[in-house]
Amino acid sequence: MRLRKLMAKDAEYMLEWMHDQDVVKDLSGSFATKQLDDCKRFIEHSQDTNTDLNLAIVDDSDEYMGTVSLKHIDRENSFAEFAVAIRAKAMGHGYSSYGMKEIIRLGHEEYGLATIYWCVGDYNKRAIRFYDKNGYVRTTDVPDGLKTHYSKQQLDNFYWYKA
- Buried/exposed 103-126: b ≥16 CB within 10 Å, e otherwise: bbebbeeebebebbbbbbeeebee
Enumerate the β-bridge partners of residue 53. Answer: 70
Read off the amino acid at residue 70: L
Domain enclosing residue 158, as ranges: 2-162
CATH number of the domain that residue 148 is part of: 3.40.630.30
Count of domains for the chain: 1
For the stretch 86-101, pLDDT in tens is 999 999 999 999 999 9
pLDDT digits (tens, 9 = 90+) for 24-53: 887 777 888 999 999 999 999 988 778 899
In three-state secondary structure terms, 137 is strand
Parallel, antiparallel or unpaired: strands 2-5 and 53-58: antiparallel
Measured at the alpha carbon of residue 124, what is the angle toward residues 36 and 43, in degrees to the nearest 5? 25
Q: CA dist 23 to 30, 86, 104, 108, 137, Å?
A: 12, 8, 22, 28, 24
Could you report the per-residue pLDDT of 98-155, keeping only the tens digit for each?
999 999 999 999 999 999 999 999 988 988 998 998 899 999 999 998 998 888 888 8
